[in-house]
Amino acid sequence: MMSLVNDNNVQQVTSFMQEQLNNALDWSERHQLRSWLSALLCGFIVSLFHYAIVYFDSAVPGVSPPTPFSPRSKRDRERSTSLHLNYLCAFGTGAMVTLFMIVDF
């Protein structure tokens, strides 16, 4: 049985993979993908941090005020919304950080 893996095949695959990686890096550089992704990641981290502060600072975490992801009781369903301003501010801070990083203030 003939071996399918030899030095020539490995070199061809390696050169092909390096060429594809270089093409991908060139494409991401042309479209400024790194700056967009870093801005989105930083905004997400800030938003997550602010959300955690609001969550752990509440009287009973997740209950008073309820998180947007907590299950609602019958009494809460009668209210118009369970989304509180604190959690909206957490989302807003992440969005503002993302926007400021993209605009580069």
For residue 53, the surrounding DSSP H or E stretch is helix 33-57
Q: What pLDDT band is residue 66 in, cutting at 50, 70 and 90?
A: low
Residue 6 has pLDDT above 90, yes or no: no
| pTM for the whole structure | 0.59
**Max avg pLDDT among 3-12, 26-35, 46-55:** 46-55
d(CA 73, CA 88): 21
Tell me what the pLDDT averaged over the chain comes to.
80
Q: What pLDDT band is residue 100 in, cutting at 50, 70 and 90?
A: very high
d(CA 105, CA 90): 21
Q: What pLDDT band is residue 50 in, cutting at 50, 70 and 90?
A: very high
